[in-house]
Structure 1
Amino acid sequence: MPIPTPWIAAALLPLSCGVFAAQNTCSTASGPAVTPVMELYTSEGCSSCPPADKWLSSLKGSGMVVQAFHVGYWDYIGWVDRFAAPAYTRRQHEVAARNGLRSVYTPQAVLNGKDLPAWGPRPPGGKEPARAAIVLTQLGSDQFEAVVTPVAERQLSPSWAAYWTITEHGHNSKVQAGENAGTFLKHDFVVRQYTPAGEYPTQGTTPQKLVFRSIAATPGHERQVNLVVFDPKTGKTLQAVSLQCPA
C-alpha cells in the first residue's frame, strides 16, 4: 500500500474517461533500458544561467526526460523569475542532500539524481537495464494514468517513489532588472507543474496505478507530461517516460 498523505491521495483520485481514451488514445511505454533524466536548476536572475538554458534546449530529440526547474532564491537581486516555485527550490535542496552537497547553486545540472558539474556537451544515452516498466496513457485533456511494474529479474530497493512534471517549450522573457537586465532569454523544458506521486513498497512484480491531473496546457507551447520513478534514498532513476500528445 502507498504511504498515505492527503495531497498524494488527491493526486491519485480515480478518473473515468473511457470515451476519450477510446477515441483519442495517446500513450507511451518505457523500454528495456533506463531513460536518462536531466534536471537543470536555473534562474532568470542568474547571470551564469543563460548558457546552461541554451545547452538544455539542445537536448531536444535526445530521448531523455529533460526538466528545467526555475528557482526563486535570486529574486532578491531585482528580477522575479515568473517560472520559479518554492517546491522547485525544496526539490533542489533534497537533491543536494542526497549528493552530500553543502549548498545549492545555479546553474546546476543533475543526471539521474547525481550532481553533474560539467554539464556539456550532450551526455551519453542510457544503457543501464531498467528496474521498472512504465505505461503512460492520456485519459482526458488534462488527465493521465500510469502503470508502474517492477522488473522481476532486477529487484528494486524495499521501496520506490515517483513524481510527475509538466514541461513546456518556447517560453521567453525580456529581463528588465538584476544580473540579466536587458537580456532576452529563451527557455525550453520549463517545469510548469511538479507533483510528487508518493512512495510505495516493492511487492514483487505487482503493478501500481498512478493517476495525475495536470494544469491546463498553455496555448502556443508544446508540452510534455513526464513521470520519473526513482530510488527514494539515493534519487537514482529507475525508469522514466515523457509523453507529448496533440493539443
Structure 2
Amino acid sequence: MPRGIFACFGKPHVHSSAPAPAGAAAVAEDQAGAVLVELFLSQGCATSPEAELLLSRLGRGDFEVEAPVVVVLAHHVDYWDYMGWKDPFGSSLSTVRQKAYVEALRLDTMFTPQVVVQGRSQCVGTDQDALLSAIGSAPRFPSPMLQANFQRPAPDSLQVSLSGVLRMKVEGQANVMVALYENGLLTDCLKGENKGRVLSNDFVVRKLEKLCTVKDISAKKTVSGTVNFPLWEGFKSSKCGIAVFVQNSAYQIFGSQNVLLPDNM
C-alpha cells in the first residue's frame, strides 16, 4: 500500500457521520426527497471497479432502499495516476472535493473507493451493506423543483439554464451546484493495477459548477442561474444527465434533483 494519506481499500469500513446544523431539520418521511450518493474512485485502484459496479446498480434501481430517489455521482480522482495508469476521467477538482469531505467528516485518510452519502456519512465503496444502511439513515429534504433549458451556443459547449424553487427554507448561506455526468463509458485499461481489464463507468462527473449562492431564503422563493459546460470529443446527450444539489459550507447536502438531457442536443 502506498505511503502518505492515500489508501486503496476493499474491506468494510465503519461509516462516520456529522450532525445537521440547527434550522435544517429533515422533513417527514412522506415528504422526503432524494439522497445524494457520491463515489470517489480511480481506474488506477484495484478495488474501484467493484465499487463502480455497485454504484451503477444503485443508480439503475437494482436495490430496494428507503429513499424514494437516489441521485448518484462518480468522482474520479487523480492521485493514483502516478501508479502506472492515468485515469482518463481523473480530475484534480474531484480530489479537492474528496479532501473537503475528509476534513468535514474529520477523517484521517483519503482513500478509494469511498462513498459519501448526503455529505454526512461515508463508507468503503465496496461495502454494500454499509452503503444501503447509510442511505436508509440519511436525513432527507424536499428535492428542488427546477426547470432546465438546454442550449448549444457552440459545438463544444453546453449551456444549462435552471429556474424554480428549492422547496426548503435555507437559513444561512448555501450553494446550488450542478454536475454534468456521463453513463456507459468503457475503457481498455492497459497498465496499472487493473491492467488487461475493460472498465465500465457510469455517472462519471465530467464537470461540476456552481449555479448560484442563496442566503436566508424561503422554500417558495424562485432561484435561477446559468452554467456553461465545455464538451468533450464523442459527447452524446443521450448518455448524459445533470444532478442539481444544495450544499452548505460544511459540504452537507440539503436536497438534490436529477435531470436527463434531451436525446437530440
Q: TM-score range, shorter-chain basis?
A: 0.7 to 0.9
* Structure 1 residues 146-161: aligned runs within 5 Å: 146-147=162-163, 149-151=165-167, 155-161=169-175
Residues 134 and 146, structure 1, Cα contact 8 Å, conserved in 2? no
Q: How many residues align structurally? A: 213
SS in 2 for 1:95: helix
2:144 corresponds to which residue?
A: 133
1:87 to 67, 87, 93: 93
Of stretches 121-130 and 201-210 in structure 1, the one that deviates more from structure 2 is: 121-130
Q: CA deviation at 1:103?
A: 2.5
Q: For residue 87 of structure 1, what is the amino acid of its counterpart?
A: L
1:102 to 108, 121, 124: 108
Distance 1:220 1:210 in 2: 21
Q: CA deviation at 1:156?
A: 2.4
TM-score, length basis structure 2: 0.72
**CA RMSD of superposed structures (Å):** 2.4
Residues 41 and 108, structure 1, Cα contact 8 Å, conserved in 2? yes
SS in 2 for 1:202: strand
| Structure 1 ranges of 4+ moved more than 6 A | none
Of stretches 94-103 and 44-53 in structure 1, the one that deviates more from structure 2 is: 94-103
1:176 to 190, 195, 198: 190
Instruction: Give CA deviations for 1:19-68 in whole Å, capped at 9, x if unaligned.
Output: xxxxxxxxxxxx94221111000000001111101101102333321111
Residues 59 and 71, structure 2, Cα contact 8 Å, conserved in 1? no
Higher RCO, Cα 8 Å, sep 6+: 1
Q: CA deviation at 1:220?
A: 7.9
Unaligned stretches of 5+ residues in structure 2 = 1-29, 62-68, 153-157
1:77 corresponds to which residue?
A: 83
Distance 1:222 1:139 in 2: 15
Q: CA deviation at 1:166?
A: 0.8
* Aligned CA distance change for structure 1 residues 98 and 70 (closer, same or farther; 3 Å): same
Residues 34 and 127, structure 1, Cα contact 8 Å, conserved in 2? no
Q: For residue 246 of structure 1, what is the amino acid of its counterpart?
A: D
Q: For residue 50 of structure 1, what is the amino acid of its counterpart?
A: P
Residues 96 and 104, structure 1, Cα contact 8 Å, conserved in 2? yes
- Larger % of strand: which? 2
* Structure 1 residues 1-247: aligned runs within 5 Å: 32-62=31-61, 63-117=69-123, 119-121=127-129, 123=132, 124=135, 128-130=140-142, 133-141=144-152, 142-147=158-163, 149-151=165-167, 155-204=169-218, 205-216=220-231, 218-219=235-236, 222-233=239-250, 235-244=251-260, 245-247=262-264
Residues 136 and 241, structure 1, Cα contact 8 Å, conserved in 2? no
TM-score, length basis structure 1: 0.77
2:155 corresponds to which residue?
A: none
